[in-house]
Amino acid sequence: MITDFEASLIKKMFELSQLFPLQFYWKLILTHKNIIIMDKKLKDQIAIVTGASSGIGEGCAKELAKAGATVVVNYPLPSAQAMAEQVVAEIAKAGGRAISYQCDVSKEDQVKQMFGDVIRQFGTVDILINNAGLQKDAPFTEMTLEQWNFVLGVNLTGQFLCAREAIKEFLRRGVNGKSKAAGKIICMSSVHEVIPWAGHANYAASKGGVMLMMKTIAQEFAPKKIRINSIAPGAIQTPINHDAWDTAAHLQSLLKLIPEKRIGQVEDIGKAAVWLASDDSDYVNGTTLFVDGGMTLYPGFEDNG
């Protein structure tokens, strides 16, 4: 990865060069390095990504940083600090900007503190990736109230608390020239906002709740130029579903549920998040983007059912 300064030098050379063959070779080199120097779609925007020390959150943080955003890599507990700092270091090494921030998204006081601190440090927040989430699975009749409340507390209440603070800041600031929108929120939902999931009632209920919370606040704040959407990942290879891909047999059985016959990678979600956060999706509001390799296409009917 090259720095912004190096990128601007290369751009200048591009502009000065009248020699097609030279341009051609530069293009080849840049394409090879996978660098989009003239098109950082989230340039100078401040993004909070919750639960970003691993998995999909980490993937989103890295893709957003590549697109020019300054990223707050949120993590919940001191035990995840080293991982969060590793993500920050990798973003910096690639030429991006990030800080780590500890906050349990299910705790109102901590969420308010995080948004306050970030706004004091960077001036505002432009993008929220409401990603933090977890599972506590149990057969329904054995599910404890504690397991139910714990999952709803992080997956649904956590998204509510973060969205509320983000929207207050978007309303205060309004459109500021960095984007056509006053702010963007992307809620990390799941295919289980529509697919029932036996043994995971708390998780499925939390994602169903995210879907209607997202649509409701999108409706409420669209007139204020705030865009709120969800991504519904299918099976993405992360620690949350380790048991589903840790052996060849488990992976084979998982792939039966995925028409594309591959498990998703965090970059698949990160790239979708960049699109939903950018002005390229300016007319997209209150919708769920399924990034699932076709998991919601009733794969059981692939061979005539």
Q: CA-CA distance, 229 to 275, in Å (whole number)?
A: 11
Say what the alpha-carbon torsion angle 185, 190, 192, 193 is, to the nearest 10 degrees. 10
Shortest Å distance, C-beta 53 to ligand NAD? 5
Where does the chain show beta strands of DSSP type E? 46-49, 70-75, 97-102, 127-130, 183-188, 226-233, 288-291
* DSSP 8-state secondary structure symbol assigned to residue 54: S
Q: Does 240 engage in binding with ligand NAD (CB under 6 A)?
A: yes
Q: CA-CA distance, 77 to 69, in Å (whole number)?
A: 24
Q: Does 75 engage in binding with ligand NAD (CB under 6 A)?
A: yes
Shortest Å distance, C-beta 218 to ligand NAD? 18
**Catalytic residue chosen out of the listed positions 75, 203, 283, 298:** 203
Q: Does 134 engage in binding with ligand NAD (CB under 6 A)?
A: yes
Return the range that interacts with ligand NAD (CB under 6 A); candidates 22-30, 171-179, 231-239, 252-260.
231-239
Q: CA-CA distance, 165 to 163, in Å (whole number)?
A: 6
Q: What angle do CA 76, 80, 85 make, to 5 degrees?
A: 110
Residue 203 a catalytic site member: yes
Q: Are 214 and 186 in contact (CB under 8 A)?
A: no
- Near ligand NAD by CB under 6 A: residue from 132, 181, 211, 276: 132
Token look-up 């006081």 returns 109
Q: How far is CA 245 from the centre of its chain?
A: 22
Q: Are 38 and 62 in contact (CB under 8 A)?
A: no
What is the per-residue DSSP string for 204-249? HHHHHHHHHHHHHHHHHHGGGTEEEEEEEE-SB-SGGGHHHHSSHH
Residues binding ligand NAD: what is the number (CB under 6 A)? 29
8, amino acid identity? S
Q: Are 157 and 151 in contact (CB under 8 A)?
A: no
Specify the residue, 241 or 287, whose C-beta has the smaller distance to ligand NAD. 241
User: Between 15 and 54, how does the x/- string for binding to ligand NAD read (CB under 6 A)?
Assistant: -----------------------------------xx-xx
Q: Does 105 engage in binding with ligand NAD (CB under 6 A)?
A: yes
Return the range that interacts with ligand NAD (CB under 6 A); candidates 26-34, 90-98, 99-107, 214-222.
99-107
Q: Are 102 and 113 in contact (CB under 8 A)?
A: no
Q: Does 126 engage in binding with ligand NAD (CB under 6 A)?
A: no
Shortest Å distance, C-beta 158 to ligand NAD? 6
As given in the structure block, the two tokens for residue 168 are 């207050």
Shortest Å distance, C-beta 275 to ligand NAD? 17
Considering only residues 151 to 180 of the shown chain, the ones binding ligand NAD according to CB under 6 A are: 154, 158
Q: Does 71 engage in binding with ligand NAD (CB under 6 A)?
A: no
- Near ligand NAD by CB under 6 A: residue from 46, 61, 72, 133: 133
- Near ligand NAD by CB under 6 A: residue from 106, 157, 202, 285: 106
Shortest Å distance, C-beta 98 to ligand NAD? 15
Q: Does 288 engage in binding with ligand NAD (CB under 6 A)?
A: no
Residues annotated as part of the active site: 203
Binding region for ligand NAD (CB under 6 A): 50-51, 53-57, 74-76, 80, 104-106, 131-134, 154, 158, 188, 190, 233, 235-236, 238-241
